[in-house]
Amino acid sequence: MANNEETNLHTSLDTSAARNLSTTTKSTPQMQGITSRWLLKLLHWVDVQGGVYRVNRRLSYAVGDGRVTFTNIGAKVQVVPQELCELPVLRGFDNIEVLQALADRFVQRDLQPGDVIVELGKPADSVCLIAHGKVNMIGAGKYGDMTVLDTLADGDHFSYQALLESQDYWQFTAKAVTTCTVLTLQQDVFDAMIEQSEALRTHVEGFKARAALPQDNEGEAAIEMSAGHKGEYVLPGAFVDYELKPREYELSVAQTVLQVHTRVADLFNNPMNQTEQQLRLTIEALRERQEYEMLNNPEIGLLHNTNLDQRIHTHSGPPTPDDMDELLSMVDKEPGFFLAHPRAIAAFGRECSRRGVYPVSTDVGGHKVPAWRGVPIFPCGKIPVSESRMSSILLIRTGADNQGVVGLHQTGIPDEYQPGLNVRFMGINEKAIMQYLVSAYYSVAVLVPDAMAMLESVELGRSGD
């Protein structure tokens, strides 16, 4: 027993006591919410000295297809009347009574996977709205074999041209991939509505007149020219027309008030300045919010400002090499990078492994990142994932010189701390607390529609067999 007591006696100073005479080596405050913020790093930034950035474009006659929303009571589904204005032929038509009458005339069809909605070669005499589900448009390829021409889903529609005049025959077969609910309107029903409504007839005639104006493949006003002529050929006259009401982007702001007690700032600044550390982490959080808004804000966010013609759906659910190739085909002029949720990147990796395809990585500023066809794929956790584990993948072209996507900020603002971000001292209140207003000014602009494309309905939770 005595031997055990002797072994428990200290023969030197214990470390817990020794720490009373020593200092610790400290890390700077850490923050788990800091991400790589690739979007902010990769965008080309334009200095907006006036606070507003105007995107001037050529005049476009083509009206882009919008997406339609629906309401339901139990199993009965009906299109929202005002949403019919998303059909190009009805864009700008504001007669609620006529729109309501048209909405009431759509017929609901509930389909099972494999059911045919319209069939190749049959008379094309209706417009179809997809309320729910996924539909493949199948048509003849170059060598006569049948192929999937397009994939449509909730809110999409096809063949609005049938409301104007008969297209004779369907050029494709529309087949349900999942359980679907679709609404159809026959051409003869629409013609009867035109006969009954003078306002609708006038609007449709105006749409036909605009559609007949010369335009190029992009829907912009055509520039007439001649090439390959000989002799004294009379050259066509031309001019470049512009949009009369171009979009203007006013700089958005993300702000917060940093509060630091004077006692803390005066007494506890060794070895680290408390105010500086508080400010550093506050700015990190503000930049994180800035990137989130640049993706998700309903007004300026890239996920909301992707042109509807530049959105595609996955062929089978998970993101496949075929889907990524189709996305590349939509931003074919110097694509810059993919942006995807890390789980979407993992889902794409699983599909590549399943097919025996192994994408190579590329070096970006000393970082090894996955790539597809040489275009890097960057992770961004701010792209939302739905409860059903669905997400989106963006493909972006950047830079004003490339007519791409540009970030907007203003430099040289008062009390600037970083480009486009300032810290302004607001004083000390009656509780001896110093206050600093921290503000970040920013926006993001898409110069032309094909600067960005989006792959929607990306399933993250399963891999095909």
- If asked whether residues 453 and 321 sit together in one domain, one would say yes
- If asked whether residues 46 and 131 sit together in one domain, one would say no
Structural domain for 399, as ranges: 38-51+251-459
Cβ atoms of residues 238 and 227 within 8 Å: no
- If asked whether residues 97 and 44 sit together in one domain, one would say no
Could you tell me the pTM of the whole model?
0.76
Cβ atoms of residues 338 and 372 within 8 Å: yes
- If asked whether residues 337 and 426 sit together in one domain, one would say yes
- If asked whether residues 85 and 204 sit together in one domain, one would say yes
Return the ∠ at Cα 203 (arms to 107 and 218), rounded to 5°.
Answer: 90
Residue 244 lies in a domain: no
Would you report the helix, strand and coil content of the chain in percent, each value rounded to 5? Answer: 30, 30, 40
Cβ neighbours, 10 Å, residue 105: 15
Closest alpha carbon to 313 in 323, 321, 303, 304:
323
Helix (H) or strand (E) holding 417: strand 416-418
Residue 242 lies in a domain: no
Helix (H) or strand (E) holding 390: strand 390-396
- If asked whether residues 46 and 74 sit together in one domain, one would say no
Mean pLDDT calculated for residue range 11-32:
86
- If asked whether residues 341 and 200 sit together in one domain, one would say no
Cα gap 106→188, rounded to integer Å: 12
Cβ atoms of residues 91 and 85 within 8 Å: yes
- If asked whether residues 304 and 190 sit together in one domain, one would say no
Cα gap 5→7, rounded to integer Å: 5
Q: How many residues does the chain have?
A: 465
For residue 268 the two structure tokens come to 């506890």
Q: pLDDT by residue (tens digit) across 50-80?
A: 899 999 887 665 444 567 888 776 678 888 8
For residue 15 the two structure tokens come to 């470390």
Residue 410 lies in a domain: yes
DSSP state of 58: B
**Total number of domains constituting the chain:** 2
- If asked whether residues 127 and 190 sit together in one domain, one would say yes
Q: pLDDT by residue (tens digit) across 102-157?
A: 999 999 999 888 899 988 888 888 889 998 888 888 887 766 678 888 888 888 88
Q: pLDDT by residue (tens digit) across 310-351?
A: 888 888 889 999 999 999 999 988 899 999 999 999 999 999
Which of 183, 211, 239 terminates a domain? The answer is: 211
Mean pLDDT calculated for residue range 378-382:
96
Residue 199 lies in a domain: yes
- If asked whether residues 290 and 434 sit together in one domain, one would say yes
The CATH number of whichever domain residue 102 belongs to comes to 2.60.120.10
Which of 156, 191, 211 terminates a domain? The answer is: 211
Regarding predicted confidence, which is higher, 356 or 123?
356
- If asked whether residues 384 and 279 sit together in one domain, one would say yes
Per-residue buried b or exposed e for 141-160, using 16+ beta carbons within 10 Å of the residue's own CB: eeeeeeeeebbbbbbbbbbb
- If asked whether residues 268 and 414 sit together in one domain, one would say yes
User: What's the pLDDT score for residue 271?
Assistant: 87
